[in-house]
Amino acid sequence: MDVKIEPSWKIALSTLFDQPYFSKITAHLKTEKALNSTIYPKGTLIFNAFEQTPFDQVKVVILGQDPYHNPGQAMGLSFSVPEGVKTPPSLVNIYKELHKDIGMPIPTTGNLTNWAQQGVLLLNAVLTVRANEPGSHSKIGWMDFTDDVIKIISAQKKNVVFLLWGNFAQQKQVFIDATKHKILKAAHPSPLSAHNGFFGCKHFSSTNQYLTQYQNNPIDWMP
């Protein structure tokens, strides 16, 4: 895989592209291509989270699981969908909590590029998926790669807010140095679990309070 990635990330992650797991990812995606499998997101968007949020600008990390697997949804940013695509249920609940937490009007778009460009890394743990098969690429090496990404952010940066929603995301806290970063945990915003502690978590106001405390600009959460 020819990795075209934003320059500051290319430096930060330089050792990762030589790891055996990255060769495994590349080989798997080549095999899928040879079989004419449909993979989401399209190739130019696989590293979109890194493209939109340069390493030196990361202030917040929102961790998702794997990309949307239906046509037209995946755009390489966790929880986000392109302009004009119906807002997915988990993002609807994120917007409800934003409204409750900071009074933000419910947006009409599900495109979170504006968050990403302010320093919110919208990182999925798995960066690709086969069409209509959720979790289909969860064992091809992506998790090793993104675990290392989290470790590098933790080691090389300070005062980053990590939003860990749901059990899957919370397993990643072992890679984060809590003495120099802020970890906020809550239930996943999925309709199946949002009422178990996502609603009322106030993560968005808490994030901005922490960023302001450490002389960082707060996030404008309106997409």
Question: Which residues participate in catalysis according to the annotation?
Answer: 66
DSSP 94: H
- Nearest-angstrom CA–CA distance, 87 and 80: 8
- Nearest-angstrom CA–CA distance, 26 and 182: 33
Q: Are 67 and 41 in contact (CB under 8 A)?
A: yes
- Nearest-angstrom CA–CA distance, 25 and 30: 9
- Nearest-angstrom CA–CA distance, 56 and 28: 31
- Nearest-angstrom CA–CA distance, 41 and 50: 14
